[in-house]
Structure 1
Amino acid sequence: MVKVKQLRWSMLVLFIAGVTINYITRNSLGILAPELERILHMSTQEYSWVVAAFQAAYAIFQPICGWALDFIGLKVGFFIFATAWAVVCMLHSLATSWQMLAGLRFLMGVTESVAVPANLKILTDWFPSKERSIAAGWAGVGFSFGGMLAPPLVIAIHLNYGWQAAFVVTGFMGLIWAGIWKLYYNNPKDHKLISEEEKAYILDEETVRSTEPLKTNLWTSIKDICKVKKFYGVAIPAFLAEPAWQTMSFFVPLYLATERGMNLKQIAIFAWLPFLAADIGSAASGYLAKMYRGKFSLSNNNAAIWSSISGACLMISLAFVPFVDSPYAAIGLISIGGFGHAAISAMLGVLIMENFDSNQVASVNGIRGFSAWTSAFLFSLLIGKVVPSFGYNPIFLCMGFFDIIGAAFMLWLIYEKGVRTLNSK
């Protein structure tokens, strides 16, 4: 059988395609929010409950999904969850009330919560440690690329075929991808298309940690992880970072419509720009970490932290959104924040890979995701309370400074003091 050169990168592209569809399906709600509020007679507070239903499920089930992937494997586990999220997305077309929509969003959160723990699972399975920061940056592109594609795609389907079709078409895309994943994906030990040279490159390096399947049950795994001090060096920054990303995904289109006076077509033209910036920020963060590692002889861990801190500094741009009159300037500032958030998110994944065994990374990332999405859930409820009375200005001011606080926790809890590396390349 003919072997594929650099197969690990094609595995990453396959994963990125799946996460892209994952984010198109989830962001469909935010894009259609102005229309759905009218059609289903929702208030902004009721819409915040719909969003919060998704976020609550996403938070609760990420640790469970992470453990499941470590326990039964990425190939089968991701296929099951991807098939389920595609079907649930298509069922959104049947919603007739905000309560029904909230129930469907809860199920969507259950099924789509697999994406975050799966991200690190594929990186640790397929990439040696010296390539993981760059691979993590590119893997994060899928999370924002889907958000970038969603506005023009979803609105085009809606304008031509109705809002129900937008959910059916994007869900069907997920079903097609799930079938491709099941046929093509496998781990490097068992993949029929990998060359012996690439397999040795991935599996035989000294820094590879345990690849044996996880043996502990869910509760024991969670307790063991939560005892590790370094875990909080990623969990707390994740808690503080996620509100900004969820606001971009679910509330910025509504903000542009209600506060900046944009119609649906204008939103389709401009609402994807923060996600394009996030694509660039995610990919750039790995190269930025590599630069820090080479220029300052930093360890992989410390270089990832400084790349993340760079992203946190850019997040301050969100605090200036209330002070600009032009909606285009507001979108520009939000886009800078999108760049910064994606850099932080990608590097948090690298920090997990650097500090935990490979048979734990999906579980650790799942619990990190629980922390992040618990914050997102609470912040969405806060938006529902604050915006009707005070508008979005207090929300943007808070989001501008959350990540600087998170960076301080990184430096305190996980930074390796006095550590340098001679192998900076």
Structure 2
Amino acid sequence: MTMKVRGLRWWMIGLLTLGTITNYLARSSLSVAAPTVLHHLNISTHEYGWITGAFLVMYPIGAPLTGYLMDRVGLRMGFLLCGVAWSLICMAHGFVQGWVGLFVLRGVLGLVEASFIPGGMRAAAYWFPPHERGTAAGVFNLGTSTGAILAPPLIAWSILHYSWQTAFVIVGCIGLVWAGLWLTFYRHPDRHPALSQEEAGYIGVTGEAARHTSAEPGPKVLEILRQRNFWGIALPRFFADPVWGTLVYWMPLYLYQARGFDLKAIALTAWLPFVAADLGCMVGGPLSAWLKRHFDLPIVNGKRAVFTMAAVLMVGMTGVGLVSSPAMAVFLLCLGGFAHQTLSITVISMSADLFPRREVGTVTGLAAFVAGLGNFAFTMTMGWFVSRVGYTPFFVALGLGDLIGATLLWTLVKPSGTVSPGVARQEARA
């Protein structure tokens, strides 16, 4: 008889968090190594903009594709395929000879790395009851900032002790180890032998629900796109995601070019905004649940309120390029990281509140596609203009964009009481 594990849902989301860490280690590795790689391969800032743009143009394409993949083949096989793929692609970075090779690899990497948010939200929808999904989303999103925190010291250490090529190989090997762990330990909740009957009832996995899981129809993309709730959570992400793209892809280069930081200084400071982002991950979900518990505010309205408060905090990021002190600039970047992850968790997790579980991966992926368009447009504009006008205007735009997103979130998303009966039945079961 298989031993039952208490709180198994948290172990599963913890396993997913480890995968997110490897995802972001692979994603962040080039930005940390950029000063060295650009020098050794004679790559210009404009070409670097195209390299990062390749990731960002393929990432939004990959999000709905991988989200649909997760909804069709399941998380176990879907994440295994994507995890192995992003690890091997990261390792291949160490064998390129010029910017074109990096351009191609970053594009393919964006295609498969887009899987973690739609897959993660699908996991949260099936493994957690509605009031815990925001917190679950915050937990697995800890991997984004944790991976970005670990990347600067790991990549810098690898470059200083070995080479920039070895750095990419090391990160890829870490990803392959996680893929093995995922294959070994993850199962869908209605098939996991370690899930207790008590926890199964708590998260909504009943015998009846399990029998109907395989019979559920697949997600219908066109129907999703016709719903205002979809655009209500997708458009705010269009304005929000460029903040994260800037922190991940441009912040080390900004500190190097505009603030005069060397590689060691970048390694000592570039992780700080991601520590603040970790705190933001753990604020959005619990705060919206606290608003419901103490003020009887519906969970969707609570998330909208948290998004708005974080958008106001984000205004502080407008001063990053205006302050003279490098320390103050880093502090404002930290404030931006905290505010962004706070609001990001709330809007991402709303897909599980507004849509049926079987559609959550696809909905989240489609919303990520819209967010990726904003990220791509911003980074391509940034890559061309940085050498001409500097970084300051872009930080001003980043600081104000989420106020537009908050307005759209309140305008387009229906109150929680008006969600479809299918969703309401699922909420009741969970």
TM-score (norm 2): 0.93
Structure 1 contact 70–213 (Cα < 8 Å) conserved: no
Matches within 5 A, 1:165-204: 165-203=166-204
- CA 1:225–1:322: 2 relative to 1, 3 Å: same
Structure 1 contact 71–215 (Cα < 8 Å) conserved: no
CA drift at 1:350? 2.1
* Separation in 2, partners of 1:291, 1:201: 20
Structure 1 contact 211–358 (Cα < 8 Å) conserved: no
* Separation in 1, partners of 2:215, 2:159: 44
> Which letter maps to 1:408?
T
Which consecutive unaligned segments of at least 5 residues does structure 1 have? none
CA drift at 1:296? 2.2
CA drift at 1:361? 0.3
Aligned residues with identical type, % of pairs: 37
Match in the other structure for 2:12: 11
SS of the counterpart of 2:191? coil
Structure 2 contact 298–416 (Cα < 8 Å) conserved: no
Determine whether 1:326 maps to 2:325.
Answer: yes
Match in the other structure for 2:25: 24
CA drift at 1:222? 2.0
Matches within 5 A, 1:13-162: 13-162=14-163
Structure 1 contact 124–358 (Cα < 8 Å) conserved: yes
CA drift at 1:349? 2.1
Matches within 5 A, 1:187-266: 187-203=188-204, 211-212=213-214, 215-216=217-218, 221-266=220-265
Match in the other structure for 1:304: 303
Which of 36-45 and 392-401 deviates more?
36-45
Structure 2 contact 354–416 (Cα < 8 Å) conserved: no
* Separation in 2, partners of 1:175, 1:417: 41
> Which letter maps to 1:136?
A
Structure 1 contact 117–361 (Cα < 8 Å) conserved: yes
SS of the counterpart of 1:359? helix
SS of the counterpart of 2:321? helix
Structure 2 contact 189–205 (Cα < 8 Å) conserved: no
**CA-to-aligned-CA distance 1:41-81 (integer Å, 9 cap, x gap):** 11111001000001111111110111110011111111011
CA drift at 1:416? 1.8
Match in the other structure for 1:396: 395
CA drift at 1:295? 2.9
SS of the counterpart of 1:66? helix
CA drift at 1:404? 0.5
SS of the counterpart of 1:373? helix
SS of the counterpart of 2:190? coil
**CA-to-aligned-CA distance 1:364-421 (integer Å, 9 cap, x gap):** 00001101111111111101111110000011010010001000000101152899xx
* Separation in 1, partners of 2:308, 2:345: 12
* Separation in 2, partners of 1:104, 1:21: 17
Which consecutive unaligned segments of at least 5 residues does structure 2 have? 419-427
SS of the counterpart of 2:311? helix
* Separation in 1, partners of 2:344, 2:279: 13
